[in-house]
Structure 1
Amino acid sequence: MIDFILWVLQNIALAPYYLFTAITNPGAWLDWSNPEAVMRFIYYGASVELFFVVITTALVITLLGMFWNREILWAAVRILETFANAVGRTAAWAGLVMVLIQVMIVFLQRIFRVAEIQLGPLGTAFAQDLSWWAEGLKFYNALVVCLCVSYTFVQGGHVRVDLVYSAVKFRTKKVIDMVGCLIFMLPAITLTYLYSWFFMWRHLMTPSVTSTSDLDRMVAQSRIFRWNVETIGFSPNGFNAYFLFKILIVLFCVLVFIHAIAFFWRSYLEWVEGEASENKYLDRDKTGDEAEDLEHAIHSGST
């Protein structure tokens, strides 16, 4: 146990060095014309070094907000929640696109018996079988699910199963929220990210990389590196860009991880400042219907 604690403290102390090294040597991991740089990017993208850089940054901001000025934490919360809202509100339009494409498919296939849809924006023809467009609807659904997750959290739209939470006092709720972030939300999404990161890269390039590969081995493998983007569909003329789903899983993990930290900060600030600060600076959508907005607030637990 002592060795583990010392290992954690050592990596926290080295985090500024890791960050400084990455910033001052961008060509070593961002020059993707060099296969070795790609391999370094893959390795460090799910490395202990990156984890402690992120955790140490969050820890420094937390300590500054707790012991110096709480407005630092409020500013961080507002920035991260604004980011979550911006991504979610943009990605939500994929739902409309999905509906329009589905209507188009039904009309062209059932009424006009068209087998292919061809688009020609800017004089460039893009033709795909109707089955490609139909299977592609899953991608738009995935966009909404993966990129609107933290936005939905900010808006209070996730389903709650309250057995104890609704019956306890305000500050007890905030303690539950903070413990939930640290014990459940952050560890679970970190593990999901570690698996999904290498899962994504195994469908983008060869040779295959794993979470157990060390940096020296991956750099050595760069001699046989080549891009091998997955373009195989489930059906002969079906959607063939399934690698995008793997990328969305990684983005989903990043958004949830970021918002877990933001939610911890908000819960702490509301715990310290009391009920008067509940939903402070919270940017939630309004429907324009007062009764509808009130019902949503009740179901989301914000009133």
Structure 2
Amino acid sequence: MTTGWRTIKTAVAGIDGLTEKAGRILGGFNLLLVVSVFLVVLLRYWFNSGSIALQELAMYFHALIFLGASSYTLKQGGHVRVDVFYNRMNIRQKAWVNCLGTLFLLFPVCLFIGYMSFDYVSRSWAIMETSPDPGGLPLVYLLKTLILVFVVTMLLQGIAEFFRSILILAGKESPEDG
């Protein structure tokens, strides 16, 4: 195998490793989300009390899990496809679908989201935006930053998926390798 193909395989493995680590770490936040929602319900219905900060914390955990781990879901093949067709395809056909889908769907959508949200996030950082609710969390700018984290991680994993498909189409990698 030439140096170019090895470099691509190394880059794909590096991105995959980063995505795996992030996905596993973010998976731990599911427990924190469940606990925070449980506490919100407990406070509201058993103690007739509430906490805006705790409610917002649950929202922050949800956003972190959803936006942060989307690239992990992509790596695991968990995003939406028309599986009734995709599952019947051979490895090369799947590689073509993945390659073209990444180029013409994933990349443009991620770039559009990044472009449209950049000013939104920048303005939030400029004013160090806080919760509009009394007792809310003072970190809205960090919450909004997760949109750009989503874009970057999805683009990175998209690059890995694209090049994995190229490697398969070039006969340089079998699906079991990736």
Identify the TM-score tier after normalising by the shorter chain: 0.7 to 0.9
In the alignment, which of 4, 14, 27 is matched to residue 79 of structure 1?
14
**Equivalence for 1:182:** 103
Normalised by the length of structure 1, the TM-score is 0.54
Structure with greater Cα Rg: 1
Cα distance, 1:90 vs. partner? 0.9
**Equivalence for 1:173:** 94
In the alignment, which of 266, 270, 273 is matched to residue 168 of structure 2?
270
SS in 1 for 2:163: helix
Worse overlay, 258-267 or 189-198 = 189-198
**Equivalence for 1:194:** 115
Q: Give the whole-Å Cα distance in 1 for the aligned partners of 2:147 and 2:155.
A: 12
SS in 2 for 1:204: helix
In the alignment, which of 231, 250, 253 is matched to residue 151 of structure 2?
253
SS in 2 for 1:156: coil
Cα distance, 1:141 vs. partner? 0.4
* Structure 1 spans left out of the alignment, 5+ residues: 1-64, 116-129, 206-227, 283-303
Alpha-carbon spacing, 1:158–1:272, altered in 2? closer, same or farther (3 Å): same
SS in 2 for 1:232: coil
SS in 2 for 1:236: coil
Cα distance, 1:240 vs. partner? 4.3
Q: Give the whole-Å Cα distance in 1 for the aligned partners of 2:48 and 2:19.
A: 42
Q: Give the whole-Å Cα distance in 2 for the aligned partners of 1:198 and 1:252.
A: 16
Q: Give the whole-Å Cα distance in 2 for the aligned partners of 1:182 and 1:109.
A: 47
Alpha-carbon spacing, 1:111–1:74, altered in 2? closer, same or farther (3 Å): same
Alpha-carbon spacing, 1:109–1:168, altered in 2? closer, same or farther (3 Å): closer
Q: Give the whole-Å Cα distance in 2 for the aligned partners of 1:199 and 1:114.
A: 34
Normalised by the length of structure 2, the TM-score is 0.87
CA deviation string 1:245-264 (max 9, x = no partner): 21000000000111111001
Work out whether residues 52 and 134 of structure 2, in 8 Å CA contact, stay in contact via their aligned partners in 1. no
Q: Give the whole-Å Cα distance in 2 for the aligned partners of 1:193 and 1:279.
A: 33
CA deviation string 1:140-189 (max 9, x = no partner): 00000111011111122223223543333321221121111112211221
**Equivalence for 1:230:** 129
**Equivalence for 1:153:** 74
Alpha-carbon spacing, 1:261–1:108, altered in 2? closer, same or farther (3 Å): same
Q: Which has the higher helix share?
A: 2
Cα distance, 1:68 vs. partner? 4.1
SS in 2 for 1:270: helix
Q: Give the whole-Å Cα distance in 2 for the aligned partners of 1:261 and 1:267.
A: 10
| Alignment-mate amino acid for residue 278 of structure 1 | P
> In angstroms, what is the RMSD of aligned CA positions?
2.3
Cα distance, 1:232 vs. partner? 3.2
**Equivalence for 2:23:** 88
| Alignment-mate amino acid for residue 138 of structure 1 | M
Alpha-carbon spacing, 1:167–1:131, altered in 2? closer, same or farther (3 Å): same
Q: Give the whole-Å Cα distance in 2 for the aligned partners of 1:181 and 1:108.
A: 45
**Equivalence for 2:59:** 138
**Equivalence for 1:210:** none
**Equivalence for 2:141:** 243
Structure with bigger RCO (C-alpha 8 Å, 6+ apart): 2
Work out whether residues 36 and 57 of structure 2, in 8 Å CA contact, stay in contact via their aligned partners in 1. no
Work out whether residues 91 and 175 of structure 2, in 8 Å CA contact, stay in contact via their aligned partners in 1. no
Alpha-carbon spacing, 1:159–1:182, altered in 2? closer, same or farther (3 Å): closer
Instruction: Summarize the alignment of residues 100-139 of structure 1 with structure 2, pairs less than 5 Å apart.
Output: 100-112=35-47, 130-139=51-60
Work out whether residues 95 and 165 of structure 2, in 8 Å CA contact, stay in contact via their aligned partners in 1. yes
